[in-house]
Amino acid sequence: MTVNVEEQELKDRLSLIETMIAEGRRTTESWGWTFVLWGVAYYVAIGWDILGHNPWAWVITMTIALLLMMTILWYKAKRQTEKSPLTRAGRSISAIWTATGISMMMLFPAMGFSARFSPQIFVAVASAMLGTTNAASGIILKWKAQISCAMVWWAASAVACLASVAQCTIVFLVAIFLCQIVFGSYMMIREACQRKQGASHA
């Protein structure tokens, strides 16, 4: 009898965990626009830096992207009539991205102002950090597409160390396109499909 109860409890717990993972993946999909936004922001900063030779290109673009993201988030939260509860996986993912965001905001401006780093080091470190975050999220959500993005970032990180500035820029642009813009758009499409399905079921 006790064995049956324990087995049932274990099954309940497992199904709750599975639900949490699925909910977490849906939550991540609803953040697809941020991937696209930051991907485009990186492109703008790189383009402005290369073509306009403006030393403030990165600082200005990143600040605008951050402000834009916060404004959209605020607008979305305001528009939402019913507050959706934060899931365990969702909390895990947001913890990882928050920590990455703070680390990047601390490290890169300091490195830039100290003038102690080269473009290759910037690409290598940024790619390694994004690889870490995508891999951790991918493992938590058991999401192969995101783990693949992490692998692309890690490969870009290793290649950037050994490449010339031009090669390293190309590698970074390709990684941004694949892991931010394509992956972000894929998430947005999936979210839109789910919303459509939800509307047709209602």
- In the complex, the residues that contact another protein under the rule CB under 8 A are 13, 16-17, 20, 88-89, 91-92, 95-96, 98-100, 102-104, 106-107, 110-111, 113-114, 116-118, 120-121, 124-125, 128-129, 131-133, 135-136, 139-140, 150, 154, 157-158, 161-162
Report the C-alpha gap between 149 and 175 in whole angstroms.
8
Of the pair 86, 192, the CB lying nearest another protein is at 86
Q: How far is the CB of 109 from another protein (least distance, A)?
A: 9
78 contact partners, CB below 8 Å, separation of at least 6: none
Of the pair 32, 131, the CB lying nearest another protein is at 131
Q: How far is the CB of 195 from another protein (least distance, A)?
A: 25
Of the pair 59, 188, the CB lying nearest another protein is at 59
Would you call 56 helix, strand, or coil by DSSP?
A: coil
Q: How far is the CB of 182 from another protein (least distance, A)?
A: 21
Q: How far is the CB of 120 from another protein (least distance, A)?
A: 6
Where helices occur in the chain by DSSP H, the ranges are 2-29, 32-52, 57-79, 88-114, 119-141, 144-162, 165-176, 183-201
CA distances from 112 to 58, 73, 105, 122 (A): 10, 28, 11, 9
Of the pair 61, 134, the CB lying nearest another protein is at 134
Q: How far is the CB of 125 from another protein (least distance, A)?
A: 5
Q: What is the DSSP letter of 84?
A: P
Torsion sign over Cα 18, 24, 30, 34: negative
Of the pair 14, 174, the CB lying nearest another protein is at 14
